[in-house]
Structure 1
Amino acid sequence: MEILILAVAIAVIAVAAIGGLVISGRKKKELPPEQRSAPPRTKAPPAEPSVGEEAEGRPEAPGRPVEEVELPPSEAPDEDGATATAPAPELETPEPSAGRLVRLRARLSRSQGALGKGLLTLLSRDRLDEDTWEEVEDTLLTADVGVAPTQELVERLRERVRVLGTRTPDELRTLLREELLALVDPTFDRMVHTETTGGEDRPGVVLVVGVNGTGKTTTTGKLARVLVADGKSVVLGAADTFRAAAADQLQTWGDRVGARTVRGPEGGDPASVAFDAVKEGTAAGADVVLVDTAGRLHTKSGLMDELGKVKRVVEKQGPVDEVLLVLDATTGQNGLVQARVFAEVVNITGIVLTKLDGTAKGGIVIAVQRELGVPVKLVGLGEGADDLAPFEAEAFVDALVEG
């Protein structure tokens, strides 16, 4: 009997233990919703780098609070609370154009004086025979004076020397100066015309044309400086849309003296840019609009026709007051070929001779004027910004003869 009671007690204890385990398991499964959705606790992974941090981890030094970060000077607000803009670059003051050629005469005489010295040496010989006069002719032709002007000068020299008789160095220098000055022709109107005729309320318009490589865009920029130095306001038209960076180059020149530059898309229509430049110059009340046209090969008729189109389009707003042809003085007689073709397409009114300070031969001044019947108005005598000078016949001849 005792054994039976003990067995029943053990069974009851076993049943109770099993029931407790079941109840405990049910309680674990029936956790509250907020606990059931929580993930099991595991070791947290390293934090992902946030904006401004390195992928390897956080920066070594802690970042500064916003209050400690200073704004750039160009964005600092002024006393009124307005944001200040960056200061404009200081404008340059171009050298006055009057008398530039006289000031640059030494530079000119270094390259051109050989012509005058050579002629004076020949004319100072005790006996001026035919061989000597042929040498005089050769000297003039070598200096690119041209055949017709050379023959004219030699004939006049022969006659005056014969009449003069005795020839002192000073007399010969005076004689040579007078004859060369007559060929250069001081009576030409060498003013760059930027004034409108008839009292029209519009700016003067100057087209700058020429072959690639003559320094046309640089000359346009330097001419803007000449005009600003003379007290005129200038708008530049970057109508050379086919040469990479031509518009940037011209704008740089304009920015230096406060001249606005009108430009179009690269490879765009040059006539449209030229038209817009004149339109904007008129609206702004500018004194002069300078239009830098694309360089043209004088052997390409299509390109030359396009240059004629630029001029016609600009003239829809008023006449073009000046057409300047830029020639490289070192090209000699080839420059005359270029000049002829350009003169057939547009009405050239003036010549700009660049690189006259180098190995150029001064006779090209005489030859190109005789060829076109228009004056040399400006000459380039160096790489400096103010080395473009209005041409002065007397100063030029003096540099040839006196060295």
Structure 2
Amino acid sequence: MNDTTETKKPSWWRRLSGGLKRTSSSIGNALAEFVSKRKLDKAMLEEIEDVLLRADLGTEVSARIAAAVGVGRYDKMISANDVKEIVASEVEKVLAQVARPLVIDAVKKPFVILMVGVNGSGKTTTIGKLAAKFTGEGRKVMLAAGDTFRAAAIEQLKIWGERTKSPVIAGAQGADSASLAFNAVTAAKDDGRDVLLIDTAGRLQNRKELMNELEKVVRVIRKVDATAPHAVLLVLDATVGQNALSQVEAFARTAGVTGLVMTKLDGTARGGILVALAEKHRLPVHFIGVGEGVDDLAPFTARDFAQAIAGTEAT
């Protein structure tokens, strides 16, 4: 990308609010339909709750927001904007508990990050974007192509390695992923790398044999460094909606997930699933993605996300 287009790139807020447009519109349009036409009553609060449930915010959060809307407003006219402000405020409260940066402990060298998730969640691309971020911060990064099932994933990681000038540990397609992880941790240690990012094959959370294989990868990594992996990041595709909840449960059980990365928020009207996840699992959310570009993955901030999802202006 040349310098001219770089400078014209919209701000992160613009990209985030644009990416979440389908979610905020689905909430905003539904609210506008009935909110301004009559005074607030019990039926309207139920309708508001339904709108939020359809955006995948989850039962607890949706009920809490509807209750907050009702406080001191019964029998009064209320605007869609009033409701959006309350949605933003309540969502921010939930997300503030999980919006935590990924901290690289410089004492742990290499700081081993294991990336997990189902097929198509955007794991390999996310690894590349994180490698670009870390090298941009002056860290020495190594990549491990642990998705040995897919030749395309191995090639994709090699391209990211070239782009970020990071060495890539890779084997042939079909190679044992646990052995590859072992070799990668050993090589990163010997080479004095700051961060090692290990890709893994996409696996469905209900396939026991594949989840057992992931457990083996974790065990083998610990043979080289008993404290590793230092972070296990689950990459979630926002477009799967409620299915993300069972993914978190299964991967947390198998691999000890320490944090979440949510991708493809720009492709769905179900961006509210991140709120439901935060409420239920309380796992740190480190990064969110709203596009394919290398800088379309950014650290997660509660207020920006809450305002983007509610369709209110950033303050």
Q: Same fold, TM exceeding 0.5?
A: yes
Task: Kindly report which structure 2 residues correspond to 1:222-233, keeping only aligned pairs within 5 A, or say none.
Answer: 222-233=129-140
* Equivalent residue in structure 2 for 1:331, among 235, 240, 257: 240
Is 1:258–2:165 an aligned residue pair? Answer: yes
Task: Kindly report which structure 2 residues correspond to 1:119-134, keeping only aligned pairs within 5 A, or say none.
Answer: 121=32, 122-134=34-46
* Equivalent residue in structure 2 for 1:364, among 251, 273, 277: 273
Residues 117/348 of structure 1: CA separation in 2 closer, same or farther (3 Å cut): same
Cα deviations by residue, 1:328-371 (Å, 9 ceiling, x for unpaired): 10110112122211111111111111110012412111112223
1:124 deviation in Å? 4.3
The one-letter code sitting in structure 1 at the alignment partner of 2:98 is F
Residues 124/275 of structure 1: CA separation in 2 closer, same or farther (3 Å cut): farther
Residues 173/303 of structure 1: CA separation in 2 closer, same or farther (3 Å cut): closer
1:376 deviation in Å? 2.2
Give the distance between the partners of 2:272 and 2:83, measured in 1 at CA: 19
The one-letter code sitting in structure 2 at the alignment partner of 1:192 is L
Give the distance between the partners of 1:105 and 1:160, measured in 2 at CA: 33
Residues 115/159 of structure 1: CA separation in 2 closer, same or farther (3 Å cut): farther
The higher-RCO structure (CA 8 Å, 6+ apart) is 2
* Equivalent residue in structure 2 for 1:112, among 16, 19, 23: 23
Cα deviations by residue, 1:223-242 (Å, 9 ceiling, x for unpaired): 21122223322100111111
Q: TM-score, normalised by structure 2?
A: 0.87
Partner of 1:152: 64
The one-letter code sitting in structure 1 at the alignment partner of 2:48 is V
SS in 2 for 1:295: coil
Residues 263/302 of structure 1: CA separation in 2 closer, same or farther (3 Å cut): same
Cα deviations by residue, 1:96-132 (Å, 9 ceiling, x for unpaired): xxx9742523422422321552475355454112221
Aligned residues between the structures = 302
Give the distance between the partners of 1:213 and 1:174, measured in 2 at CA: 34
The one-letter code sitting in structure 2 at the alignment partner of 1:383 is E
Deviates most, 166-175 or 132-141: 166-175
Partner of 1:135: 47
* Equivalent residue in structure 2 for 1:181, among 77, 80, 92: 92
Residues 160/257 of structure 1: CA separation in 2 closer, same or farther (3 Å cut): farther
Residues 106/371 of structure 1: CA separation in 2 closer, same or farther (3 Å cut): closer
Task: Kindly report which structure 2 residues correspond to 1:68-79, keeping only aligned pairs within 5 A, or say none.
Answer: none
Aligned Cα RMSD in Å? Answer: 2.5
Give the distance between the partners of 2:66 and 2:243, measured in 1 at CA: 24
Q: Is the 8 A contact 2:18 2:266 kept in 1?
A: yes
Give the distance between the partners of 1:353 and 1:285, measured in 2 at CA: 30
Give the distance between the partners of 2:72 and 2:211, measured in 1 at CA: 45
The one-letter code sitting in structure 2 at the alignment partner of 1:288 is V
1:375 deviation in Å? 2.5
Q: Is the 8 A contact 1:101 1:395 kept in 2?
A: no
Partner of 1:311: 218
The one-letter code sitting in structure 2 at the alignment partner of 1:138 is D
Q: Is the 8 A contact 1:210 1:295 kept in 2?
A: yes
Partner of 1:14: none
Give the distance between the partners of 1:129 and 1:283, measured in 2 at CA: 67
Q: Which runs of 5+ in 1 are unaligned?
A: 1-91
1:382 deviation in Å? 1.1
Residues 387/129 of structure 1: CA separation in 2 closer, same or farther (3 Å cut): same
Q: Is the 8 A contact 1:119 1:139 kept in 2?
A: yes
Cα deviations by residue, 1:38-79 (Å, 9 ceiling, x for unpaired): xxxxxxxxxxxxxxxxxxxxxxxxxxxxxxxxxxxxxxxxxx
1:292 deviation in Å? 0.3
* Equivalent residue in structure 2 for 1:191, among 101, 114, 120: 101
Give the distance between the partners of 2:230 and 2:191, measured in 1 at CA: 18
Deviates most, 167-176 or 234-243: 167-176
Q: Is the 8 A contact 2:142 2:193 kept in 1?
A: yes
Partner of 1:66: none
Q: Which runs of 5+ in 2 are unaligned?
A: none
Task: Kindly report which structure 2 residues correspond to 1:78-117, keeping only aligned pairs within 5 A, or say none.
Answer: 101-102=12-13, 104-117=15-28
Residues 373/188 of structure 1: CA separation in 2 closer, same or farther (3 Å cut): closer
Task: Kindly report which structure 2 residues correspond to 1:169-318, keeping only aligned pairs within 5 A, or say none.
Answer: 172-184=83-95, 186-196=96-106, 199-200=107-108, 202-318=109-225
Q: TM-score, normalised by structure 1?
A: 0.69
Residues 155/304 of structure 1: CA separation in 2 closer, same or farther (3 Å cut): same
1:171 deviation in Å? 5.0
Cα deviations by residue, 1:251-308 (Å, 9 ceiling, x for unpaired): 1012101111111222111111112111211222221100001111111101101101
